[in-house]
């Protein structure tokens, strides 16, 4: 059960991060967009 709770928390963080990224992209002016790496974001998938 503890493993499922940890996985659930990890997935919730991932969804939260992706939702925030989406909101930031929607608010950013079209000509001023940066990639997540260029903006200093940390990749969830690569763990970088």
Q: Kindly report, residue by residue over 1-48, the tens digit of the pLDDT.
A: 999 999 999 999 999 999 999 998 888 776 665 666 655 555 555 554
Domain count, the chain: 1
Residues 3/6/7/13 CA torsion (nearest 10 deg): 180
Looking at residue 48, its pLDDT comes to: 43
Domain of 48 in residue numbering reads as: 1-48
Looking at residue 26, its pLDDT comes to: 87
Task: Let me know if 17 is exposed, middle or buried by CB neighbors in 10 A (0-12, 13-18, 19+).
Answer: middle
Looking at residue 44, its pLDDT comes to: 54
Question: What is the number of helices (H) and of strands (E) in the chain?
Answer: 1, 0
Answer positive or negative: Cα dihedral of 18, 22, 27, 33. Answer: positive
33 vs 18: CA distance, rounded Å: 16
């Amino acid at each position: 059960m503890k493993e499922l709770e940890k996985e659930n928390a990890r997935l919730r963080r991932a969804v939260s991060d992706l939702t925030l990224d989406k909101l930031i992209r929607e608010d950013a002016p079209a000509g001023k967009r940066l990639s997540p790496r260029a903006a200093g974001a940390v990749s969830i998938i690569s763990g970088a």
